[in-house]
Amino acid sequence: MPKEKPELSDAMKKKMQGKTFEKNPIKGTKFTIAISSAKGGVGKSTFATNLALALKKVGCKVGLLDADIYGPSIPKMFDINEKPKSDGQTLIPIMKYDIQCMSIGFLADQQTPMIWRGPMVTSAIKTFTQKVSWKELDFIIVDMPPGTGDTQLTFAQEIKLDGAIIVSTPQEVALIDVKRGIKMFDKLGVKILGLVDNMSYFKGDDGKKYNIFGEGGVKKTADEFSKEFLGEIPINPKVGKSGDQGKPIVESNPEHEISKIYLNFANKIKSTYL
């Protein structure tokens, strides 16, 4: 572990001063796992959706919460075009592929920009964790937004996070932000389950591996911060195509080599918590 103490932004420090937070588990759930990166464009939502589906396939009851208020991806990746119903007190998650789902994208048009200040984002997150009728879930997988801001702070301080998986691509420009994210979770007392090297390499028709974004950066970062390295996920056009079609690869092709990687992750998580 690095000897220097992780630093939070001035805004985050101000939020923490003079406050005592009581973490409350999300009702209807056993364990809450955040999928984070602190960097956009590394395939975090693809990882979150496929991990949720993999957990379902190994026998777990799973919810998927899209906490990226400004750029929700779950409506597209799960092909959900309806609004959640309400019982007058709570919102009812939308079921798709036997996964209970919730996203701000269900409540707004896909092309409507979410021009919200921080307090509005925090309010939306609290609604999704406190006023959604999650039912008997083993795991709720939270697709976190990029960065180390209000959403991350709300989940870490006011909501019970049982762990976080950090997703990154191997190039240094992504890892700079990932290191900030690691320090943030360490500072806030959130257990990091491990780091995943996503889009690690491309395997050509010749059978050779091509390290498009560099090699070994995520594992080196995991070693630097004494975190577990969970493994690599290669680039494959079928993964992106499946997500665009609203049926992620673990659901559309569970026998694919990448689907088997996710199933391996899911079995590790299941054995750790259940």
* Identity at 123, one-letter amino acid code: S
**For residue 195, what are the contacts with CB-CB under 8 A and spacing of at least 6?**
165, 166, 167, 168, 178, 218, 219, 221, 222, 227, 228, 229, 230
Predicted TM-score (pTM) of the model is 0.87
**Sign, Cα dihedral of 142, 148, 149, 153:** positive
Which residue range(s) make up the domain with 136?
A: 24-273
> How many domains does the chain divide into?
1
Is residue 3 in a domain? Answer: no
Predicted confidence at residue 28, as pLDDT, reads 94
Residue 65: per-residue pLDDT: 96
User: For residues 7 and 2, what is the distance between their CA atoms, to the nearest angstrom?
Assistant: 12
Residues 39 and 174: beta-carbon distance below 8 Å: yes
Beta carbons within 8 Å of 260's beta carbon, 6+ residues apart: none
Q: Alpha-carbon distance 15 to 169, whole Å?
A: 31
Place of tokens 């925090």: 122
For residue 2, the model assigns a pLDDT of 45
Q: Is residue 11 part of a domain?
A: no
Question: Could you give the angle at the alpha carbon of 28 between the alpha carbons of 50 and 265, nearest 5°?
Answer: 25
110, part of any domain: yes
Burial 198-236 (b: 16+ CB within 10 A, else e): bbbbeeeeeeeeeeebbbebbbebbeebebebbbbbbbb
Residue 214: per-residue pLDDT? 79
The tokens 């959403």 sit on which residue?
Answer: 151
Q: How far is CA 252 from CA 5, 99, 108, in A?
A: 44, 15, 27
Residue 119, pLDDT score:
80
The answer to whether residue 220 is domain-embedded is yes
The phi, psi pair for 108, rounded to 5°, reads -140, 155
5 part of a folded domain: no
- The letter for the amino acid at 80 is I
pLDDT of residue 218: 94
Kindly report the CATH number assigned to the domain that includes residue 31. 3.40.50.300
pLDDT of residue 221: 95
- Residue whose tokens read 């491309």: 202
Q: What is the pLDDT of residue 9?
A: 56
CA dist 169 and 249 (Å) reads: 19
Please list the alpha-helical segments (H only) found in the chain: 10-16, 44-57, 74-77, 118-130, 150-158, 172-187, 217-224, 237-244, 249-252, 257-273
In eight-state DSSP terms, residue 104 is G
For the purposes of burial, counting CB atoms within 10 Å of the CB of 158, is it exposed (0-12), middle (13-18) or buried (19 or more)? middle
Residue 18 lies in a domain: no
Q: Would you say residue 9 lies in a domain?
A: no
Q: Report residues of the chain scoring pLDDT below 70.
A: 1-22, 24, 110-114
- Residue 10 lies inside a defined structural domain of this protein: no
Q: Could you tell me how many residues make up the chain?
A: 274
